[in-house]
Amino acid sequence: MTEPRSPTGNISRHLEEDSVSCSLVERDFSEAGLEDCENGPFSITVAGEDAERACGSSFLSDSAPTLEYDRSAQRGDVACTSRFDGMTCWNVMTGKGFTVNKVSYETF
């Protein structure tokens, strides 16, 4: 799976050999006090270094296969796990990554 999406269809991911990126259409980070993207979807990415917002980029796909809850997908050095409360993606070599859902995101 190189472009799995969440069961709700709100989060789409793009896995490459050394990076993974996610985009969300529906989100509201206001209560969490987190910075959002001004236009288009909220996007976030991680490669070998720290995860960062990728505003201006879109990794959305209506035709991507669904990554069911409690399932993971890996490609090269990156992986994602789908959970009921969001998506967690990381670089398996560095341990750097992010968790994202409709109301918050966190980098690690």
pLDDT tens sequence across 5-28: 999 999 999 999 999 999 998 999
pTM (whole model) above 0.85? yes
How many other CB atoms are there within 10 angstroms of residue 85's CB atom?
Answer: 11
> Mean pLDDT of all residues in the chain?
94
Closest CA to 99 of 38, 28, 22: 22
DSSP secondary-structure letter at 40? S
